[in-house]
Amino acid sequence: MQVYDVEIGSRLWLGSARYPSPAILAEAVRGAGCDVVTVSLRRENAQAGAGQAFWALIRDLGVRVLPNTAGCHSVKEAVTTAQMAREVFDTGWIKLEVLGAGELLQPDVFGLVEAARLLSDDGFQVFPYTTADLGVAERLLDAGCRVLMPWGAPIGSGRGLADPFALRALRARFPDIPLVVDAGLGLPSHAAMAMELGFDAVLANTAVALAADPVRMARAFADAVCAGAAAHAAGPMPVRDFAEASTPVIGQAWRA
């Protein structure tokens, strides 16, 4: 897939938070063949130099780093965090999160569009964490985004694709825009379902990091993503309201 004119080989992206250890994170990334890893600025401290060992580990993996503005609840906070991340990680890529209040950590779509426009004007390549709303998607694209990351379900919920209809409509409305399902995936089957809908990639974090065996789960997600993408490319059969025999009755033996 092409994202901001960069070719990405893997359609499974991984978050880097909550793993039992940096070594297990590294093994999971390698096992999944992942090309993109999201990293929060909160893992780094530019002044004190804390977190440099973690940053060195990420660099050694040879992956593309996608810094995020996780935990930001205002436009100002998100923009400032993005600008700091560009300095720390030396990349213009930013996964933009502007969260609303409440337990669902739902994107604040009004603040998100405003922040996306400010960052795009500042030269960032913005990856917005958004809902699957078509109107919001239009405004994010108008703001300069060239990729969209709609949620499957609330962050860390593991509920899978809460609204497949909305995701299917988003894919149909924007056939040429890279779409990455972000947040809420709990099982490899959820990832496969997203790919079967025609999405370009999925981002998983909690489902892998908190598994009893994160490395095995990362590999399972990678297999599921490949299977789902292949199924979409193969062209799934249409859904019917009634049964249709798979064995033809013509030529079948019968007695009068």
Residues that are catalytic: 95
Instruction: Report the distance separating Cα 225 and Cα 214, nearest Å.
Output: 16
Closest CA to 107 of 95, 94, 97, 92: 97
- Contact indicator for 232, 196 with CB cutoff of 8 Å: yes
Angle of CA points 185, 186, 192, to nearest 5°: 65
Beta-strand runs (E) in the chain:
2-3, 6-7, 12-15, 36-40, 64-68, 93-96, 125-130, 149-150, 180-182, 201-204
Q: What is the DSSP string of 166-189?
A: HHHHHHHH-TTS-BEEES---SHH
Closest CA to 184 of 162, 220, 163, 156: 156
Angle of CA points 65, 169, 229, to nearest 5°: 50
Determine whether the annotation assigns residue 91 to a binding site: no
Strand-pairing partners, residue 151, are 182
Determine whether the annotation assigns residue 184 to a binding site: yes
Determine whether the annotation assigns residue 68 to a binding site: no
Determine whether the annotation assigns residue 132 to a binding site: no
Determine whether the annotation assigns residue 45 to a binding site: no
End-to-end CA distance of the chain: 60
Binding-site entries: 156, 183-184, 205-206
Binding-site entries for 1-deoxy-D-xylulose 5-phosphate: 156, 183-184, 205-206
